[in-house]
Structure 1
Amino acid sequence: MALVSAWGLASLCFATSGYAYAGDIVILKSSEQLFYTQAVEGFQSSVPRQTSLKEVVVDSADVDPRALGRRVRASNPDLVFAVGLKAALLAKVELPDSPVVFCLVLNPEVHGLPADNMVGIVTRLSPEAQLTAIRKLVPAASRIGLLYGDPRIDSFVTDAQKQAARMGLDLAVAQVAGPRDVPDRARGLIASIDLLWLIQDPTVISEESLAFLLQTSMDAAIPVFGFSSATAQQGALGALFVDPRRIGEQAGRLARDLLKSQRNRSRLLVPPDRPELAVNLNTAEYLESPVDQAVVRTASVLFGGPGATAQHRNR
């Protein structure tokens, strides 16, 4: 709380592109997780240098959320940047009159986000974006398997089914009742598909189940399309993902726009500016499923192939 109690946020005004606006921003970070820190770094690099930034970790033993909310309100910041679910919920409950930009919240609608004073950047990529990437990566895959169990993503699955039909793809959906149901349902699904599509679903995805799904698919010579560069590194053929640092940069641009226009009401969810593709060339070689070089050139992260184990591109 020493960091919070030491706040003496002075009003700082400056001009950008003909607009004069105040620049006191409070950053609420859910925890010290690396991806939250990376988002904050991206945000800091994207706002004007004159901006006054104060950062607080919400999930800390010496921070009381209500007391923190009172202190932030008293400091009267021009904008709040909330990173992660705990930070976004604190901002929703305690800071209803401050403009808020939030990010890295999965399924925000389930938690009543965004509120009227918020703009949020979506973390889960749309079915259209993911299915388009799948088709480019594995053009021969016409029957795609999707395993899910979390009822909070029912609408995503429904949208995915509609999008697959529009694209002429057959989406086979298998719903699990719980984590123990994953192995049997996965084996049955993998036996009848051309590609397994993994999405962020806590009912299906854990460290143990992910290893099982990747190995079982590999044994059946079925490629896997994942949701993070880590899933590609572990053996998925590819993954479409959002880079937290780039999400932070996008949040910084949104913050600039909000401060310039001085709009206090938003209630918007916006897609990430630039989803990124990771491809595992070793997996492609093992599965004898060569990836088109045009797709390889668009990938931000390559695992395997000539040179280093992981090549980071388009950074």
Structure 2
Amino acid sequence: MVYTLNMGLPACFGLWMSAPSFPAGRAVPVAADCSNNLRPCLAGCLLFLIGLFISVPGRAEVVAVLFPDVREPFRKVFVSIIEGIRAHPGLDARTLALTPGTDQAAVQAFIRRERVQAVIALGKRAYLAANAVLDDGDLPLVLGALLLPPGSRDATGMTGVSLAVDPYPLFETLRQLSPAMETVHVVYSEDSLSWLVERAQEAAQLNGLKLVRHGVRSRREGARMYRKVLKSIDGRKEALWLPPDAKSLDERAVLPLLLREAWRSSFVVFSSNPVHAKRGALFALFPDNRQMGAELGELVIACLRQSHQRCPQGVRLTQALQSAVNTRTAEHVGVTLNNGERFSLKFPVR
């Protein structure tokens, strides 16, 4: 039997709170009289409430996404992150590409015009632009596409996802591919990457490896240190990790030298940059940019659920990684890729 509910929502709540017991087995007409027939009315109320909540779609939160207007292949990174943000059903992302001519007034006008509830800043230029126009506590600010140091003094009060790859899966992959490895060398900038290398120290120990740290203060000093490491490295049990550090590694002059010597001496080089694997490093683990965008979207939603605007959720390392392997290098250094299919990318491309 179909019941017709001819009462409003307040009446439903009133009946629910004051309902007497209703005798079972009593016949009820199609158009229920709620004063005499309470049970069908309560059932109708329940259907009314369910329909009320189901029929009202969730409102997407408008979020501004600021990113630098750069050329390919760098632009592709930001586009992929933005795709991940836009895939979140609870967000409506409005983008602004920052050119060298984009001033503070233009950013303010964009944020005001789009009536955003939060801002995501991708890259250093976007972070500086957003920080300049947002008053403290004005709108939630979430950062991405930066080498942010989780848990350090520099990241206090910040919310975002760091571009840095957690060293633990890097070393875990190294042990899986080359179980004989005992030592990992790393050359890094003491000014900008000490936090990551300190984290790597613990990750290496957990994977049964010894991490030998070579801190430098410039590219020139880094070049000298790399040459020193090349003279002493034992490829049978030692490997070289290339961290994401432009201040210590000259990609044009020093990287080709490292990869040539690694090939000649048959020692393992691994990295967080897929381009390095393409050029001859054994493997690389690197962020899945689209999934990183999804992580940023989740952070924005978490911020908007809080009462205070600045939302100090903290900085986290991305949990979404992709992998690349150079099969030619693997064969050359004696690594058998029984599980090679697990890598996202394989070089050389056949």
Instruction: Sort the TM-score into its range (normalised by shorter chain).
Output: 0.7 to 0.9
Q: Deviation at 1:280?
A: 0.9
Write the deviation string for residues 45-78 of structure 1: whole angstroms up to 9, x where unpaired: 2344xx54321112342x1124423552575411
Structure 1, residues 79-110: CA drift from partner, whole Å, max 9, x if none? 21211111122223322311122211113579
Q: Is the 8 A contact 2:64 2:118 kept in 1?
A: yes
Q: Does structure 1 residue 301 correspond to structure 2 residue 339?
A: no
Larger displacement relative to structure 2 (165-174 or 258-267): 258-267
Question: In terms of Rg, which structure is larger?
Answer: 2
Find the aligned partners of 1:120 and 1:40 in 2 and give their Cα distance.
Answer: 14
State percent identity of aligned pairs.
24
Q: Per the alignment, in what secondary structure is the counterpart of residue 131 of structure 2?
A: helix
Match of 1:4 in 2: none
- Work out the CA distance in 1 between the residues paired with 2:207 and 2:57: 45
Aligned residues of 2:278 and 2:347 also touching (Cα < 8 A): yes
Give the corresponding residue for 2:87: 45
Residue 66 of structure 2: which of 20, 23, 28 is its match? 28
Q: How does 1:207-226 map to 2 (within 5 A)?
A: 207-208=251-252, 209-226=254-271
Q: Structure 1 residues 52 and 139 mapped into 2: Cα distance closer, same or farther (>3 Å)? A: same
Instruction: Report the counterpart of residue 239 of structure 1 in structure 2.
Output: 284
Structure 1 gaps, min length 5: 1-14, 310-315
Shift of 1:279: 1.0
Whole-Å separation in 2 of the counterparts to 1:137 and 1:235: 16
Question: TM-score when scaled to structure 2?
Answer: 0.72
What's the RMSD between the two structures over aligned residues? 2.9
Kept in 1: contact 2:150–2:317 (CA 8 A): no
Quote the offset at 1:134 in angstroms. Answer: 1.9
**1:1-315 maps to which residues of 2 (within 5 A)?**
20-21=58-59, 23-32=61-70, 33-48=75-90, 51-61=91-101, 63-69=102-108, 71-73=110-112, 76-95=115-134, 96=136, 97-107=138-148, 116=157, 118-190=158-230, 191-193=232-234, 194-208=238-252, 209-259=254-304, 264-267=309-312, 268-291=314-337, 293-294=338-339, 296-304=340-348, 308-309=349-350
TM-score, normalised to structure 1, is 0.79
Cα 1:18/1:285, change in 2 over 3 Å: farther
Secondary structure, counterpart of 1:264 in structure 2? coil
5+ residue gaps, structure 2, are 1-52
Distance 1:203 1:282, change over 3 A: same
Deviation of 1:289 after TM superposition, in Å, equals: 2.3
8 Å contact from structure 1 (residues 107, 152) kept in 2: no
Q: How many residues align?
A: 286
